[in-house]
Structure 1
Amino acid sequence: MSSLYEQLGGEPTIELLVTKFYHRVLADPMLAPMFDGIDPDRLEQHQRRFLAVALGGPNAYQGRDLTSAHAHIARRHGLSDLHFDAVLKHLAATLRALNADESAIAQVMTIAESTRSMVLGRSAQAAVA
């Protein structure tokens, strides 16, 4: 059986997904301030690598665990479930815009939801071992 990464179209799709996803996120007035001062190219590169691993693709992710990576946003902007839900909404909308299968979208959303505690700093467990 192929991985979710492969089902979605592999590297080209993940690259397009991340680019379009951040267009949506950065256009969201609630979320955009959280990315002030962050290099968007570097952010997208990390997100592409992280998603590849999370969706069963190649492991080239060398970033920090999710708790550490989001700690400064949590401190500076009060990162909350409201923000996380907005990000999930943009992720699902982006996948739908790319004509992803609803079953694949549901699987991606389950994986994304599984990171909530780590992103919001409720767990020190690393997301990628």
Structure 2
Amino acid sequence: MAEDQSLYAEIGGQDAVEAVVDDFYDRVLDDPLLEPYFEDTEMQELFAHQVQFVSAVAGGPVEYDGDDMEEAHEGMGITDEAFDRVADYLAEAMRENGVPEADIEAVIDDVAALRDDVVMV
């Protein structure tokens, strides 16, 4: 990644982030372990929040204004196994959409730092 260019710009900006998030949710919602977590979820709203979150993490011109991670996941009973699968699917979606491996690692490192706020069992 060029030093003066954000990860967001490097991976292709808004269109690329939306493609990754779309691919990511296809994978997540196809997983019998993860699908129940999303049964009562307004997916369009969640998609928009996820695009905003990934864009912000990647250094894009977007600020994440959703709930903090602990509040957003409170009471969901998310396990370490579920968290790991979500992270794996995010990495796979980025890889499938041409995000360079070093950039994938940077995003996954940021996601891993959220484990204690998301896993609550």
TM-score (norm 2): 0.91
Asked if residue 103 in structure 1 is aligned to residue 106 in structure 2, the reply is no
SS at match of 1:90: helix
Distance 2:54 2:61 in 1: 10
User: Once superposed, which parts of structure 1, at least 4 consecutive aligned residues long, lie more than 6 Å away?
Assistant: none
Task: Tell me how large the CA RMSD over aligned residues is.
Answer: 1.4
Distance 1:82 1:41 in 2: 25
Amino acid of the structure 2 residue aligned with 1:118: D
SS at match of 1:72: coil
Shift of 1:121: 4.5
Superposed, which structure 2 residues align to 1:6-25 within 5 Å?
A: 6-25=9-28
Distance 1:5 1:31 in 2: 27
Deviations 1:77-102 (A, max 9, x none): x2111110000110111111112111
Match of 1:39 in 2: 42
Q: Which runs of 5+ in 2 are unaligned?
A: none
Match of 1:120 in 2: 119
Q: Sequence identity of aligned pairs in percent?
A: 36
The count of aligned residue pairs is 118
